[in-house]
Amino acid sequence: MNNVMIGLEVHVQLNKLKSKLFCGCSTDYQDEEPNTHTCPVCLGLPGALPVVNRKAVECGIKVALALNCEVLEQTLFYRKNYFYPDLPKGFQISQYDFPLAVNGKMSIETDRGEKIIRINRVHMEEDPARMIHEGGIQYSRHSLIDYNRSGMALLEIVTEPDLKSPKEARRFLDKLRSILEYLDVFNGDLEGAMRVDSNISLAGGDRAEVKNISSHKGVEKALSYEATRQKNLLRRNIKIIQETRHYDEERGITISMRTKEGEEDYRYFPEPDLPPMSVKSWTERLKDEIPELPDAKIRRFVEEYGVKENHARSLTSDIEIADYFETVCKSSICTIPRQKVVRRAREIDPNMAASWIVDVLKGELNYREMKIEGSPLTEDKTIKILKDLSSGKITEKNAVEIIREILDNGGDPEEIARRRGFGRLDRSETEILVKKVIEENPKVVEDYHKKKKRALNFLVGKVMALSKGKSAPKDVNELLEKYLCED
Residues at the contact surface with Zn ion, assessed by CB under 5 A = 23, 25, 39, 41-42
What is the spatial distance between Cα 100 and Cα 95, in angstroms, rounded to a whole number?
8
Closer of 20 and 424 to Zn ion (Cβ): 20
Residue 93 beta carbon to Zn ion: minimum distance, rounded to whole angstroms: 13
Q: Around Cβ 192, how many Cβ atoms within 10 Å? A: 15
Closer of 19 and 212 to Zn ion (Cβ): 19
Closer of 23 and 108 to Zn ion (Cβ): 23
Residue 151 beta carbon to Zn ion: minimum distance, rounded to whole angstroms: 5
Residue 180 beta carbon to Zn ion: minimum distance, rounded to whole angstroms: 24
Q: What values do phi and psi take at 335, rounded to 5?
A: -100, 130
Residue type, 456: L
Residue 282 beta carbon to Zn ion: minimum distance, rounded to whole angstroms: 25
Closer of 41 and 194 to Zn ion (Cβ): 41
Residue 91 beta carbon to Zn ion: minimum distance, rounded to whole angstroms: 16
Closer of 93 and 210 to Zn ion (Cβ): 93
- What ranges make up the beta strands (E) of 203-289? 208-213, 243-248, 253-259, 269-270
Closer of 33 and 486 to Zn ion (Cβ): 33
Answer for the pair 190, 29: CB distance below 8 angstroms, yes or no: no
Gyration radius (Cα) of the chain, Å: 30
What is the spatial distance between Cα 28 and Cα 26, in angstroms, rounded to a whole number?
5
What is the spatial distance between Cα 187 and Cα 55, in angstroms, rounded to a whole number?
16
What is the spatial distance between Cα 157 and Cα 210, in angstroms, rounded to a whole number?
16
Sign of CA dihedral 227, 228, 230, 231: positive
Sequence-ordered list of residues with C-beta below 8 angstroms from that of 417, at least 6 positions apart, any chain: 388, 393, 394, 398, 402, 423
Residue 35 beta carbon to Zn ion: minimum distance, rounded to whole angstroms: 11
Closer of 14 and 445 to Zn ion (Cβ): 14
Residue 335 beta carbon to Zn ion: minimum distance, rounded to whole angstroms: 54
Closer of 129 and 213 to Zn ion (Cβ): 129
| Stretch (H or E) spanning 337 | strand 333-338
Q: Is 88 helix (H, G, I), strand (E, B) or coil?
A: coil
Closer of 39 and 444 to Zn ion (Cβ): 39
Answer for the pair 244, 212: CB distance below 8 angstroms, yes or no: no
Residue 397 beta carbon to Zn ion: minimum distance, rounded to whole angstroms: 56
What is the spatial distance between Cα 461 and Cα 445, in angstroms, rounded to a whole number?
14
Q: Is 203 helix (H, G, I), strand (E, B) or coil?
A: coil
Q: Around Cβ 363, how many Cβ atoms within 10 Å? A: 10
Closer of 39 and 360 to Zn ion (Cβ): 39
Q: Which of 331, 392, 322 is nearest to 357 (CA)?
A: 322
Residue 367 beta carbon to Zn ion: minimum distance, rounded to whole angstroms: 41
Residue 185 beta carbon to Zn ion: minimum distance, rounded to whole angstroms: 20
Output the CA–CA distances (angstroms, integers) from residue 90 to 124, 261, 418, in the order listed: 18, 16, 67
Residue type, 276: P
What is the spatial distance between Cα 222 and Cα 213, in angstroms, rounded to a whole number?
7
